[in-house]
Amino acid sequence: MDTTLLFIQFLNGMQLGVLLFLLAAGLSLTFGIMDLVNLAHGSLYMAGAFICASLTFWTGSFIWGVLLAIPAVALVGYVTEFLVIRHLYTRSHLDHVLATFGLILVFDTSVHLIWGSQGIAVPLPAFLDGQVTLFTDVVFPTFRLVIILAGLLIAAGLYYLVNHTRIGMLIRAGASNRTMVSALGINIQFLFSMIFALGAVLAGIAGMLISPISEASIGMGNQIIITAFVVIVVGGVGSMKGAFIAAIMIGLIDTLGRSYLDTIFKLFMSSNAAETSAPAVSAMLIYILMAVVLALRPQGLFPPKARG
Amino acid sequence: MLKKLLSISLMLGVSTISTAAALAGEVKIGFVTTLTTPAGVIGKDMKNAVELAVEQMGGKMGKLDINLIIEDDGFKPDIGKQKTEKLVKQDKVNFVSGFIWSHVLMASRKTVLDAGTFLISSNAGPSPIAGKLCNKNFFSTSWQNDQTPMAMGEVLNQQGVKSIYIMAPNYAAGKNMAAGVERTFKGKIVGKDLTKWGKDAQLDFSAELAKAKASGAEAIFIFYPGKAGGAFIKQYQQAGLQGKLPLYTVFTVDSIALPKLQKAGFKGVLGSRMTNFWAPDLDTPQNKLFVSSFKKKYGSYPSFYAAQAYDTMYLIKSAVEAVDGDLTKKDEMRKAMRSANFPSVRGKFTYGKNGMPIQNFYLREVVADADGVWTTKIIKTVYTNHQDPYVKDCKIK
Amino acid sequence: MMVQFLKNRALTFIVLGLLGTVPLLMFWSGSDYLSLATKLVCLCIAATSLNLILGYGGMVSFGHAVFFGIGAYAVGIPAYHSVYGGMDLIATSNGFFHIGFAIVLAALFALITGAISLRTKGIHFIMITLAFSQMMFYFLLSLDTYGGDDGLTIDERSQLPFISLDNSVHMFLLSFGALLICLYMVHRIVNSRFGLVLQGAKDNEERMAAIGYNTFAYRLTAYVISGAMCGLAGALFANSESFVFPELIDWTRSGELIFMVILGGGGTIIGPVIGGIVFIVLEDVLSRFTIYWHLPFGIMLILAVLLGRTGIANWFKSDGAIKKPAEGNHE
């Protein structure tokens, strides 16, 4: 087997994985702590992409676009929480699903009204737009490498935040026992708002990072949100470590499946049959993985401790 | 609740009364396209073209007033069918036209044809409609799916390309496009990737591009309509394949994607080549009128979708004028349309018995025009009067 | 209590009476909405089947559209072979076979996936049902013979004695009759001992298990019945549309079914029908005015939840308490 190609595909899988992690982290936080099923999490990803795209053209630089878009997305997240989400915490999961689906419609249509339906292609500065030679014949697009590094950096930052700060202690306590935290005399409403805004920022950053690769488009979040849910369920709801490992795993499985499944299938079936069935099976792979995990270990691979 | 129901049925009632009161002196044209979802950008281009045509006709076809009803299918076959039903049953239109997507057209065709109404596809050209499901009341102002990639296969042969890598979305049209190029290309196909499509379509082609690069192919052939096309071009450039793996496309690079790519400075697309039945610089009187007035009114080049939609209106006009506004003479209207006796943007062409155009296909290249705006320019003619391969399955005479 | 019972019953009869007559009256007065009404009735059957497990059984299936899709393809595939040959075993246009095939296939799929899914709870159940429906979605997408994502046209509708499904009045009446039967079945089931155990397991599973009920078996049975009923809805839908396509199984369609149940009132017999009517009529009416109709639609959904006005069927309860929040599968 071509090891160079394998290594490049590994990097591609990592890049998808860290993006999934950025989305899943916020989802896992809000779900683990507030017990909120937020289908509209993907809308914040879309909001990040569109806001960043506009700011990139306004400032003339993608870097400035991202830096300015981060507080903007935090604000969008906060307003969403203030207007809608905070009234849902005491409700059932079904009410969450219903109301956040309504939010998706509102977000998508608002984007259509503001930016039109055509989507926005986001330009990269020249130093990010090329390729880097990692060693001899491994050449990789610079920007994808930046995504991997940025994602790992944010993951490390989150790890520090959750495990070594006071707010992290509250987050961990909240994930395992919610009533306990409020008993400690913490302003739980404020904590929730901040966590929601943090989740929004993480999702927004994922959207900003993907926008120069694909583009900012309506409904982009609705496609990836289901995969992000798969990630947190496989990893164990409420667990940051689980979300990270599962995100990387699913990123790799999806990418390697797309790269090698047809070759593998050709070993035991006709080339024509392999070409048709491989894409279908590779699309199914992550769902098969989730069904297997849920059937054998319903709490996920790395559930948070003492969840009760 | 009761009140609600009553008011709703009242509303529905009112809308029927107003349509029933329609004047006899008008021709009703239904146009089904996609105005919402990201694909709405295509529908908007078509809507612009149709409205431009109506404006240029002075709102009249012969002595009849044009009553144009545009509907949004939301990119869903059942909604498209629902809107088509409305056009046929409530609005009682004389022509149903539009249709970007094969699956929406396939879902809607029976409703229109069973009612004996004319059906005109302004884009979709799935093989069953050209073949075993052909119908005397169906006409297309576009092409059958296989034709354009077949022309591309021919181009690759002429350029002496020995091996290609193919990428297309994993759905019916994507497979048709891949099959089309394989039908005529004589060299070796060293690899083929069909990527996930649909609402959660794959837009990150990192794995496939790495494979294509490693495959040692001389060129890459792709079909990625809509937003996936722009995404592909960007990643193609970011992966540094420009100049190393020449790009050949069908229905991927058009006047919808180009302004966006130009704004973001993706020069990788300049010089890439594609086949199509039409180009903005095609030298026919009708095309000159169309392109200049479209640019004047909307400030951008029209896409091929717009060109097809524009032709749709002129095809209908030729039928209405042939019967002097007597829309009950369906046989004569059909005969008039069959003769393709209208000023088409593509110049003179003829119809096959399945209602598909027999027309030329050209090789186009992405260039900057005199004002620096990115557009496509015709390099040469690949096929002259080309007919789709499915017409042999069509049983009507 | 008695008054309440009569009130509920009156609401049920009014809604069904209107649903059964208004489309026909409109048709005879010259405005033909029968095909839309038939689609609506099919979705009401699907929502009713979901109500059995969601509203009464507390099982939030996020992949219920899969049964609808299976039912639809169970008509489309035999009809295709009956016209174009091949697969002699199932190639027929016999309507009884089509409907039976749809029900059996959907029930079988429910039995297999239910046996696995029902071992999980809460969000995990939501996600595993989604996973199975997504797998089926990609499977259908890859079936080139049956059109893949272009869908499959049904050239010849199911053949039944005495009626013709090409006649839109017959098609509507058949679907409406099926809806009445399904509603009556759900009514009988939830008031039977079986139904009481099912509802008991929703409220307090440990207690039901402690007094000796095998709650898993009860749930699985309800899941299979629900799947079969939804398969029937799909078979009727396929005949009405004369076209089937993989996107029928898309997760948003499963989501829409949940909304119909919750909006109309889960755990009431007529709720899903009301939810279905509101959903489809709003969609059709709003989209006539503006292509941006999702905006008011979304705001209405959010407000309905925030103001506690979901469960329309419960608005008519006399005790003043407008609504107790819909019972989810809280952990």
The DSSP string of A238-249 is: T-HHHHHHHHHH
Cα distances from B185 to residues B155, B222, B240, in angstroms, run 8, 14, 26
Residues B56 and B151 in one domain: no
- pLDDT > 80? residue A49: yes
Q: What is the per-residue pLDDT for C56? A: 94
A16 vs A144: CA distance, rounded Å: 9
**Position A176 confidence tier, pLDDT thresholds 50, 70, 90:** low
What does the pLDDT look like over A127-149, one tens digit per residue? 888 888 887 778 899 999 999 99
C145 touches chain A (CB under 8 A): no
* Mean pLDDT for the stretch of residues C258-269: 90
Candidate from C31, C250, C291 with C-beta closest to B16: C31
B329 vs C2: CA distance, rounded Å: 65
pTM: 0.88
Q: Would the CB atoms of A279 and B238 count as touching at under 8 Å?
A: no
Q: What is the per-residue pLDDT for B15? A: 45
B115 vs B133: CA distance, rounded Å: 16
Q: Is B346 a member of any domain?
A: yes
Residues B179 and B199 in one domain: yes
Residues B154 and B137 in one domain: no
Q: Is B180 helix (H, G, I), strand (E, B) or coil?
A: helix
- pLDDT > 80? residue A82: yes
What does the pLDDT look like over B69-88, one tens digit per residue? 999 998 889 899 999 999 99
What does the pLDDT look like over B6-46, one tens digit per residue? 444 444 444 444 444 345 689 999 999 999 888 888 999 99
A252 vs A258: CA distance, rounded Å: 10
Q: What is the per-residue pLDDT for A105? A: 92
């059932």: which residue's tokens?
A92
* Mean pLDDT for the stretch of residues C321-330: 42
Residues B247 and B129 in one domain: no
Chain B positions with Cβ closer than 8 Å to C = 1-2, 5, 8-9, 11-13, 15-16, 20, 35-36, 40, 72, 74, 76-78, 81-82, 85, 89-90, 102-103, 106-107, 109-110, 126, 128, 133, 170-173, 175, 197-199
Cα distances from C33 to residues B87, C45, C305, in angstroms, run 11, 19, 30
What does the pLDDT look like over C170-200, one tens digit per residue? 999 999 999 999 999 999 999 999 999 999 9
Q: Would the CB atoms of B89 and C32 count as touching at under 8 Å?
A: yes
* Mean pLDDT for the stretch of residues B216-242: 90
**Position A84 confidence tier, pLDDT thresholds 50, 70, 90:** very high
C227 vs C136: CA distance, rounded Å: 14
Interface test mutation site (partner A, options B234, B236, B254, max chain A beta carbons within 10 A): B234
Q: Which residue has the higher pLDDT, A53 or B397?
A: A53
Candidate from C36, C247, C285 with C-beta closest to B76: C247
Please give the structure tokens belonging to residue C205: 């599973």
* Mean pLDDT for the stretch of residues C90-112: 95
Helix H or strand E encompassing C198: helix C193-203
Q: What is the per-residue pLDDT for B20? A: 40
Interface test mutation site (partner A, options C51, C61, C294, C314, max chain A beta carbons within 10 A): C294
* Mean pLDDT for the stretch of residues C284-289: 85
Q: What is the per-residue pLDDT for A306? A: 52
**Position A308 confidence tier, pLDDT thresholds 50, 70, 90:** very low
What does the pLDDT look like over C131-166, one tens digit per residue? 999 999 989 988 888 888 788 989 889 999 999 999
Q: Is B205 helix (H, G, I), strand (E, B) or coil?
A: coil
Q: What is the per-residue pLDDT for C326? A: 43
Q: What is the per-residue pLDDT for C151? A: 87
Counted domains in chain B: 2
- Ranking B125-134, B193-202, C227-236 by mean pLDDT, the lowest is B193-202
Q: Would the CB atoms of B211 and A259 count as touching at under 8 Å?
A: yes
Q: What is the per-residue pLDDT for C6? A: 66
- pLDDT > 90? residue B218: yes
Residues B318 and B269 in one domain: no
Residues B244 and B259 in one domain: yes
C123 touches chain A (CB under 8 A): yes
Q: What is the per-residue pLDDT for C2? A: 59
Query: Measured between CA atoms, how close is C148 to chain B, in angstroms?
Result: 6
Q: Is B40 a member of any domain?
A: yes
- pLDDT > 80? residue C320: no
What does the pLDDT look like over B44-71, one tens digit per residue? 999 999 999 999 999 999 999 999 999 9
Non-local CB neighbours of A126 within 8 Å, separated by 6+ positions: none
Residues B36 and B176 in one domain: no
B144 vs B179: CA distance, rounded Å: 13
Q: What is the per-residue pLDDT for C236? A: 97
B314 vs B319: CA distance, rounded Å: 9
Q: What is the per-residue pLDDT for C9? A: 83
Domain range annotation of chain A: 9-218
Residue B397 is classified by DSSP as -
Residue B25 is classified by DSSP as S
Which CATH number covers residue B184? Answer: 3.40.50.2300
Q: What is the per-residue pLDDT for C3? A: 64
- pLDDT > 90? residue A89: no
What does the pLDDT look like over C294-303, one tens digit per residue? 899 899 889 9
- pLDDT > 80? residue B122: yes
* Mean pLDDT for the stretch of residues C26-53: 92
Are B211 and B193 in contact by the 8 Å Cβ rule? The answer is yes
Domain range annotation of chain C: 34-254
Interface test mutation site (partner A, options C53, C132, C142, C249, max chain A beta carbons within 10 A): C142
In the beta sheet, which residues pair with residue B365? B273, B377
* Mean pLDDT for the stretch of residues B190-219: 88
Helix H or strand E encompassing B71: strand B64-72
Residues B366 and B252 in one domain: yes
Give Cα A150 distance to the centre of its chain: 13
Please give the structure tokens belonging to residue B309: 């939609």
Q: Would the CB atoms of C329 and A93 count as touching at under 8 Å?
A: yes
A45 vs B381: CA distance, rounded Å: 45
Half-sphere exposure of residue B36: CA atoms within 13 angstroms, side-chain side? 20
Residue A303 is classified by DSSP as P
Q: What is the per-residue pLDDT for B242? A: 85
Q: Which residue has the higher pLDDT, C274 or A166?
A: C274
Which residue of chain B is at minimal alpha-carbon distance from A128?
B238
Query: In terms of residues, how long is chain C?
Result: 331
- pLDDT > 50? residue C103: yes
* Mean pLDDT for the stretch of residues B228-246: 89
Non-local CB neighbours of A150 within 8 Å, separated by 6+ positions: A18, A205, A209
Residues B222 and B266 in one domain: yes
- pLDDT > 80? residue A108: yes
Q: What is the per-residue pLDDT for A168? A: 83
- pLDDT > 90? residue C37: yes
Are B290 and B141 in contact by the 8 Å Cβ rule? The answer is no
List the domain range (segments joined by +) for residue B20: 2-143+283-355
Q: What is the per-residue pLDDT for C329? A: 40
Q: Is B49 a member of any domain?
A: yes
Residues B236 and B371 in one domain: yes
Q: Which residue has the higher pLDDT, A280 or C48?
A: C48
Q: What is the per-residue pLDDT for A42? A: 94
* Mean pLDDT for the stretch of residues C220-231: 98
Q: Would the CB atoms of A229 and C127 count as touching at under 8 Å?
A: yes
Give Cα B358 distance to the centre of its chain: 16
The CA-to-CA distance between both ends of chain C, in Å, stands at 32
- pLDDT > 60? residue C327: no
Are A275 and B195 in contact by the 8 Å Cβ rule? The answer is no
Please give the structure tokens belonging to residue C41: 């009735």
Q: Which residue has the higher pLDDT, A128 or A175?
A: A128
Query: What percentage of chain B has pLDDT greater than the value 90?
Result: 72
